Amino acid sequence: MTPTLTAEGHDAEVAARFDAAEGRFKATVGADDVRLRAVLRALGPVRGSRVLDLGCGKGRFAAHLVAAGACVVGLDLSPAMLERAEGVDRVLGSARRLPFAGSTFDAVIAIEVLEHVGDVGPVLLEARRVLRAGGRLAIVDKNALALDARRPWLPSLVVKAIDERRGRWMYPSGGPVRERWFVPGRLRDRLRLDFDEVRVEPLLRPEERHPVFRLAPAARLMTLWAAKARTQTARDGSARSGLGGDRG
Ligand SMILES: C[S@@+](CC[C@H](N)C(=O)[O-])C[C@H]1O[C@@H](n2cnc3c(N)ncnc32)[C@H](O)[C@@H]1O
């Protein structure tokens, strides 16, 4: 997050951007989507379980979980996105400060959301708080070390920076909010402070056709971080905010 914005200011800017760009985001996702399949693998059977979808957007992933028998709460900052999330319990709010009691959920998912929050520390702490001990967390987000799917000789972050300058990205270049991607090992290490069995899985998208993406999974853009909420919740606070060197 840039120093010029408070957490509330950051959230307000993100909400305004998504409200304005709502028409660009899809309301459905296929059952064969690599992100959906990865999340379902990470959670295991969900029938009868309580799942929180952080930054649910239009609820396209939540809809599959509901179909699989889960009871899903979808939380999002953007009223325009949330309005389209039918079939889930909808809550308008920020992942930074969740309006739920501790240990409310069996699972928390966050699909392409953390890239918008700036400092992920408070969001991860909140996710841990609302999960029961042993509950599952599944994050899908972008790998800061990925290569571009169409031009695999270029880092995806370089292509993103060029697109940002051309005004083709969610947030304008030089604006107060940036979309941040994650170095997989750094987010894994951050998660290990509060979670057990932390696992990182690079996901192969259909558009990543070049052999480099099969031979070097670390070059893939979309990544799953899966983890289990630790029983013991002692925290030292200071080491748990921010990710420092992440890029994007
Ligand atoms: C790229 S969309 C992804 C939506 C959904 N997870 C999906 O994959 O279809 C990101 C969503 O995260 C929401 N969001 C961003 N920051 C958030 C925050 N701090 N708390 C809750 N939602 C947030 C945005 O409003 C937007 O709907």
pLDDT tens, the chain, 248 aa long:
445 789 999 999 999 999 999 999 999 999 999 999 999 999 999 999 999 999 999 999 999 999 999 999 999 999 999 999 998 999 999 999 999 999 999 999 999 999 999 999 999 999 999 999 999 999 999 999 999 999 999 999 999 999 888 888 888 888 889 899 999 999 999 999 999 999 999 999 999 999 999 999 999 999 999 999 998 554 444 444 444 335 45
Nearest 5 degrees, angle CA 159-CA 217-CA 169?
A: 25
pLDDT value of residue 167:
82
pLDDT value of residue 196:
96
d(CA 110, CA 182): 14
Enter the pTM of the model.
Answer: 0.93
Tokens representing 117?
Answer: 């929050």
Does the beta carbon of 140 sit less than 6 angstroms from any atom of ligand 1? no
Which residues touch 141 (CB under 8 Å, ≥6 apart)? Answer: 110, 111, 112, 113, 114, 115, 181, 182, 187, 222, 223, 225
Does the beta carbon of 85 sit less than 6 angstroms from any atom of ligand 1? no
Among positive and negative, which fits the CA dihedral 235, 236, 242, 243? negative
d(CA 114, CA 116): 5
If you measure from the C-alpha of residue 184 to the centroid of ligand 1, how many angstroms do you get, rounded to a whole number?
20
If you measure from the C-alpha of residue 59 to the centroid of ligand 1, how many angstroms do you get, rounded to a whole number?
10
CA separation (Å) from 173 to 56, 148, 162, 177, 182?
Answer: 25, 20, 9, 9, 19
pLDDT value of residue 3:
54
- Tokens 């031979």 found at: 215
pLDDT value of residue 68:
97
Average pLDDT value for the chain:
92
Which residues touch 244 (CB under 8 Å, ≥6 apart)? Answer: 186
Q: Are 34 and 223 in contact (CB under 8 A)?
A: no
Mutation choice for ligand 1 from 113, 120, 223, CB with most ligand atoms inside 8 A? 113
If you measure from the C-alpha of residue 61 to the centroid of ligand 1, how many angstroms do you get, rounded to a whole number?
12
* Residue ranges of domains in the chain, CATH in brackets: 7-144+179-241 (3.40.50.150)
Mutation choice for ligand 1 from 76, 108, 120, 140, CB with most ligand atoms inside 8 A? 76
List residues bridging with 131 in a β-sheet.
105
